[in-house]
Structure 1
Amino acid sequence: MIEKILKRTMRLFLFAGFAKTNTDEIAKHIGISKRTLYRYYNAKEKLINAVFNFLKEQITAQHEAIIKDKSKDPRQKLNEILLIVTKISFKMGKPFINDIQNFRPDLYMMMKEFRKERLRRLADIIKEGQESGIFRKELNRELTIDTLIAALDGIINPKYLSETTFSISSAFDTVFNIFIHGIESEKSNSQLKNSIVHSHPDAHILFFKSWISTQNKTSRRMESSIFKA
């Protein structure tokens, strides 16, 4: 029951925020009575804290399972983890982002630190790829990850989404493939260069449009996302 409560409440909070969402709405969204909700969480603040911890645990578990999977090479690991991050970011509505910044700055800071921790793990994947000869050894790992995150942030920007004909999945695949093609070692690159960017004739345009879209966000918006440092 606890997992059901946390999963469904998390979806509700990501979309609608939590400041103006009352316990009646929460219970209705979960599909339980208000009395049952209070049996597990007798205060809204306790539920909010539990949902945030649940979100962190879910993300960490998924990421670590991918990172430790020896059957996947670094390219696959980056792809799968960043797809998870992109999907979660896409689900975050403006009310949620505003709420954590304005009403729960403690959670906002906690999630910023959590994001930094997750990005460090992505840098570890870049390091793994460098050591195995898949990625170029001269790459600055942290800057490489920051650049990729910035490009992916661009494709989930509402302004970009309202103007493009690309689907989220198509945009993600194209941006990721172009990026990976750019950081691969010469040996690894030559093996894949005929299969990376031919999925769409305007792939290079999509990459730069998504990057420019990111640069055009306001500084407030960039500071507000929990997946930004």
Structure 2
Amino acid sequence: MSTKEKILKTAIKLFSKKGYLGATTKEIAKEAGIAEVTLFRYFPSKENLFEETLSVYSFLPVLKGLLPDLANMPFDKALKIIAHEFLNTLESKKYLIRIMHSEVSNYPDKVHKIYHNFIEEMIKTLASFFEEQQKKGILREFNTNSGAMAFLGMFFSFFNARELHMMKNFKNLDVKKIVEDFIDIFIRGSIK
């Protein structure tokens, strides 16, 4: 494992445990087994480290990796794969997400911008997949950014209720069935 990978792995661990505000670069460097000055050679600031951590350990690289394989797949099957991977990524990062939600109002403007840019890029990436489906005649015309927000929002709301708010009635739900139901509603709507 390279020094950069070691720093990122340690950063995600400490950001997940202590949050962005609680984890210091000194702690990250110490736990990674390097000097703090070495950390700053790779990441000039804590904000840069946070941004790189999000870009490596978030759903965005997963989504970008999936899309080429999904391009010629039936649309409903592609959406199921995206939904399951999104939920799996959220589940694996639930401690980081929980801490980020609790401290986000205290983030400096730079960190807010990093976080918002990351979410916007994820939406744009999924929207580009929807645009390709529109060009193929599979999807009707609609605002693909709104479609991407709606799609990801359904699953994030489910994750949020189930894992972050720990709502008991959501814990016993069959995730596979929820994915199928949400995708059916997303594709077909709710009008009879």
Fold match (TM-score > 0.5) = yes
Tell me how many residue pairs correspond in the alignment.
177
Larger radius of gyration: 1
- Distance in 2 (CA, whole Å) between partners of 1:182 and 1:165 is 21
Q: Structure 1 residues 42, 66: closer, same or farther in 2, change over 3 A?
A: closer
Tell whether 2:1 aligns with 1:2. Answer: no
Contact 1:16 1:95 in 2 (8 A): yes
Give, in angstroms, the shift of residue 73 of structure 1: 4.3
Partner of 1:63: 63
Q: Structure 1 residues 184, 95: closer, same or farther in 2, change over 3 A?
A: closer
Give, in angstroms, the shift of residue 58 of structure 1: 5.0
**Identical counterparts, % of pairs:** 18
- Distance in 1 (CA, whole Å) between partners of 2:106 and 2:44 is 15
Unaligned runs of 5+ in 2: none
2:39 to 38, 41, 54: 41
Give, in angstroms, the shift of residue 40 of structure 1: 1.8
Contact 1:16 1:96 in 2 (8 A): no
Unaligned runs of 5+ in 1: 186-229
Richer in helix (by share): 2
2:171 to 165, 173, 191: 165
Partner of 1:96: 100
- Distance in 2 (CA, whole Å) between partners of 1:7 and 1:76 is 32
Contact 2:7 2:39 in 1 (8 A): no
- Distance in 1 (CA, whole Å) between partners of 2:75 and 2:187 is 11
Partner of 1:119: 123
Contact 1:122 1:145 in 2 (8 A): yes
1:6-45 aligned at under 5 Å gives the runs 6-23=8-25, 25-27=27-29, 29-30=31-32, 32=33, 36-42=34-40
Give, in angstroms, the shift of residue 11 of structure 1: 2.8
- Distance in 2 (CA, whole Å) between partners of 1:106 and 1:82 is 30
Contact 1:17 1:96 in 2 (8 A): yes
Give, in angstroms, the shift of residue 141 of structure 1: 3.0
- Distance in 2 (CA, whole Å) between partners of 1:132 and 1:181 is 20
Q: Structure 1 residues 92, 72: closer, same or farther in 2, change over 3 A?
A: farther
Q: CA RMSD in A?
A: 3.3
Q: Deviations over 1:62-81 (max 9, x none)?
A: 32221222464444444444
Contact 2:80 2:179 in 1 (8 A): yes
Q: Structure 1 residues 51, 42: closer, same or farther in 2, change over 3 A?
A: same
